[in-house]
Amino acid sequence: MKRIILASNSPRRRELLGGLDLDFEVKVLPDIDESYPDNLPAAEVAGYISREKAAPYRTLIGEGDLVITADTVVIVGDEVLGKPKDAEDARRMLQLISGRTHQVITGVCLLTTDKERAFSVTTDVTFKQLSEDEITYYIEHYKPFDKAGAYGIQGYGRILVEKINGDYYSIMGFPISNFLENLRKIGY
């Protein structure tokens, strides 16, 4: 590989990819559209957005370069929860997932000049029943506005979670094991 480009501002993705002893650079293009068609099934949203994030890089990479894009969404029932717009939206999301099991889906796209491989990883997360005081405290002290579903599993957010069934690192936004498996499948 000539270059590995992580096309993400997520400090968690940088940390997780950095832990794999791979040399990479972070390059994020401005104004990437993260919208998706209204009729797209909820389980396909993260994968769709990760592919859409990769598309603008096609003309910017050279032979041997690899671009990694990712997106994480939280799904409750059929509702897709992305990043909250503000504190009230964060409160609504946390109230919605309080005491329930929801799915966290992280979609990843691996793009080279001649290949594109996208995959998604789904993890079930059960939240404990949250009090209004706990929700307020979490929002005020941890400002979860850059996190799908208005929470992060690491740090204080771990006390919100009662049970996990699946890939912990996918909840953080980068499913390491599946990434390595798919990297091998495209020949790296």
Please list the active-site residues: 71
**The 3-state secondary structure of 115-157, one letter per residue:** CEEEEEEEEEEEECCCCHHHHHHHHHHHCCCCCHHHCCCCHHH
148 closest CA partner among 110, 99, 107, 93: 93
The most distant pair of C-alpha atoms in the chain lies apart, rounded to whole Å, by 53
Please say whether the beta carbons of 99 and 125 come within 8 A.
no
| Core vs surface per residue 108-141: b (16+ CB within 10 A) or e | bbbbbeeeeebbbbbbebebeebeeeebeebbee
